Amino acid sequence: MLYNPKIKKKLEYYHDKYNSRDFIEGDPISIPHRFSKRQDIEIAGFLTSVIAWGRRSMIINNASRLMELMDNSPYDFIVKHQEHDRKKFMDFKHRTFQVTDTLYFLELLQWYYQTNDTLESAFLSGKSIDGFDMKLSLEGFHDLFFSLESAPHRTKKHIPTPVRKSTCKRLNMFLRWMVRSDDKGVDFGLWKNISPADLMIPIDVHVERYARKFGLLERKQRDWSAVEELTANLRLYDKDDPVKYDFALFGIGVMEGEDIDFL
As to burial, measured by CB atoms within 10 angstroms (0-12 exposed, 13-18 middle, 19+ buried), residue 32 is buried
Q: What does the pLDDT look like over 95-108, one tens digit per residue?
A: 999 999 999 999 99
Per DSSP bridges, beta strands 127-128 and 131-132 are: antiparallel
230 inside domain? no
Report how far apart, in Å, the C-alpha atoms of 121 and of each of 108, 115, 140, 149, 193 are. 14, 11, 11, 21, 9
Domain count, the chain: 1
Per-residue pLDDT, 51: 97
> pTM for the complete prediction?
0.95
| Contact (CB, 8 A) for 102 and 70 | no
Q: Residue 21, Cβ neighbours under 10 Å: how many? A: 10
CB 227 within 8 Å of CB 134: no
Residue whose C-alpha is closest to residue 156's, from 198, 105, 109, 93: 105
Does 244 fall in a domain? no
Q: Is 65 within a domain?
A: yes
Angle in degrees, CA 74, 80, 84, rounded to 5? 100
- Confirm whether 232 is domain-assigned: no
- On whether the CB atoms of residues 200 and 166 are closer than 8 A, the answer is no
- pLDDT at residue 159 greater than cutoff 70: yes
Q: Is the pLDDT of residue 257 over 50?
A: no
Q: Is residue 208 part of a domain?
A: no
Which residue, among 153, 79, 149, 145, has the nearest Cα to 117 in the 3D structure?
79
Q: Could you tell me if residue 8 is inside a domain? A: no
Domain, as residue range, for 41: 24-201
47-104 residue pLDDT tens:
999 999 999 999 999 999 999 999 999 999 999 999 999 999 999 999 999 999 999 9
